Amino acid sequence: MSRSRSRERRTVGSKETRDTILIVCEAKNQTERIYFRNFATTEKSGVRVQVAEEHKYSVPADLVDYAQKLAVDTFKLDLQDGDQVWCVLDVDAQQNSGPRDEQLRTLRDRANRRGVSLAISNPSFEIWFLAHFEYSTRNYTNRELLDKLNSREELGGYQKTKCVFSKIVNLQSTAVRNALRLDQHHRDLGRNLDLSESNPSTQVYKLIEQIDAVARKNSTR
């Protein structure tokens, strides 16, 4: 997209529209969509958050290619002028096609070439929820993680399709700190943060920080 077309798209009357963050989750995963739709419907967020609907892509490389095409062709975003597209995916995905680590090993380079950012969670997105309450470096299976969340009184019983946003939003800064600590823990051990060896970990905090940063930027326009 040319610069002139970008300006035309991004201006309404004499006021520029807000930058947009498009979030693309895996295939039919609902937990992530339910959570991020709360950012999309919160006006005070100051940023346009679009959450892509269900689709057929669960293989990481296909998901990244789909996200880039969706951002440019369908949502008409300008990834060179403030808009962003993020893929939210798990290391221990339920739908698999070949060894997951092999799928993820070269994914970041592919995503960078396409202007797509990644928020990878290990073993699953629920580790981001747990980070709102505690810091732990123990390995989790998906089942153990679900049981752990279900035991949290603050959540009143956890289910993957249950919206917990209102119960955890005030603890977001705690989650960011705990996620950063987990990143550092794995780096200190020489681990690749995108692979299964870095269990538990979550990069969702990077997306949350971007939503906050774009909101601050838009508020000054």
pLDDT at 145: 96
* CB contact set of 181 (below 8 Å; sequence gap of 6+): 135
Residue 115 has phi, psi (to 5 degrees) of 75, 25
Beta bridge partners of 120: 89
Domain that holds residue 188: 3-219
| pTM tops 0.85 | yes
80-99: pLDDT as tens digits: 998 999 999 999 855 444 47
Q: Report phi then psi at 81, rounded to 5.
A: -140, 45
- Helical pair 60-69 and 107-114, crossing angle rounded to 10 deg: 10
Dihedral sign for Cα atoms in the order 113, 37, 10, 220: negative
Of all residues in the chain, the percent with pLDDT exceeding 90 is 72
Domain count, the chain: 1
The pLDDT tens digits of the residues spanning 6-62 come to 444 454 433 356 789 999 999 888 999 999 999 886 655 567 899 998 899 989 999
Task: Please give the structure tokens belonging to residue 201.
Answer: 């970990």
